[in-house]
Amino acid sequence: MTSTLRDESVDAGEQAPAGPRVGVLALQGDFREHAHVLAGLGASVSLVRRPEELAEIDGLVIPGGESSVIDKLARLFGVAEPLREAIAAGLPVYGTCAGLIMLADSVLDAIEGQQSFGGLDVVVRRNAFGSQNQSFETELDIPALGAAPVRAAFIRGPVVESVGPDATALARLDDGRVVAVEQGNLLGTSFHPEITGEHRFHEYFLGKVRARIRSLV
């Protein structure tokens, strides 16, 4: 299947491929890594920076990076409130690391004035795994993705301190801390599958996107 990464430079008359239209919030962070994984899985991928671009997609990925910067830029670009409305309306969204923070209803250790988009009934703690030089990789058992363990890279990631009744924990570390959650069309991970060659979370997310498309037909 042919797949493409679309940005502002793409000719407006170009015919889009048949895959689901998935945006990657491209304000800050490792958005291009996500875009290439998604394109390789057959999605039609675009980089999202403006409110009007939300109307052109079937699902959205919020990448890792610095959550406070993503928050500030989202408000500066005018995309924060439209994205909150899209999430409430059922837009499938997958957030990794900082993206998980942005989807959480409550954030601990946030900087003064920091806001999230919300939607996930969880409390997350920002920078729970220490500084950059304390990054690590481990394997996680995630039954929802099959029997084989998932290789997970943690880079100054958050941890889910508590999971509300509307959300479900998908993965825990050996010490019991929750590092992956879902709630309806929303998915969040503390780690970065886009940099370890682990594509099952993206495939799982695309399943949510396709199910949403079918439900709207």
pLDDT tens profile 80-90: 999 999 999 99
Does 97 participate in catalysis according to the annotation? yes
Catalytic pick among 97, 182, 198, 202: 97
pLDDT tens per residue across span 168-207:
999 999 999 999 999 999 999 999 999 999 999 999 999 9
Bigger pLDDT: 189 or 10? 189
- Count of the separate structural domains present in the chain: 1
Catalytic pick among 53, 66, 182, 194: 194
Catalytic pick among 66, 182, 192, 202: 192
User: How many residues are given for the chain?
Assistant: 217
CATH code for the domain of 38: 3.40.50.880
**In sequence order, what E strands does the chain have?**
5-6, 21-25, 44-48, 59-62, 93-96, 104-108, 120-125, 136-140, 150-154, 159-163, 168-172, 178-183, 186-189
What sign results for the dihedral spanned by CA atoms 118, 119, 121, 125?
negative
Q: How far is CA 205 from CA 86, 110, 211, in A?
A: 16, 27, 10
* Gap between the Cα atoms of 35 and 87, Å rounded: 20
Q: How confident is the model at residue 13, as a pLDDT?
A: 37
Question: Could you give phi then psi for residue 174, rounded to 5 degrees?
Answer: -60, -25
Which structural domain range is residue 74 located in?
Answer: 5-216
94 CA to centre of own chain? 3
Lowest mean pLDDT among 12-16, 96-100, 211-215: 12-16
Does 137 participate in catalysis according to the annotation? no
The answer to whether the predicted template modeling score (pTM) of the entire model surpasses 0.85 is: yes
Does 36 participate in catalysis according to the annotation? no
In sequence order, the β-bridge partners of residue 96 are 189
Lowest mean pLDDT among 8-22, 40-54, 135-149: 8-22
Amino acid at position 51, single letter: P
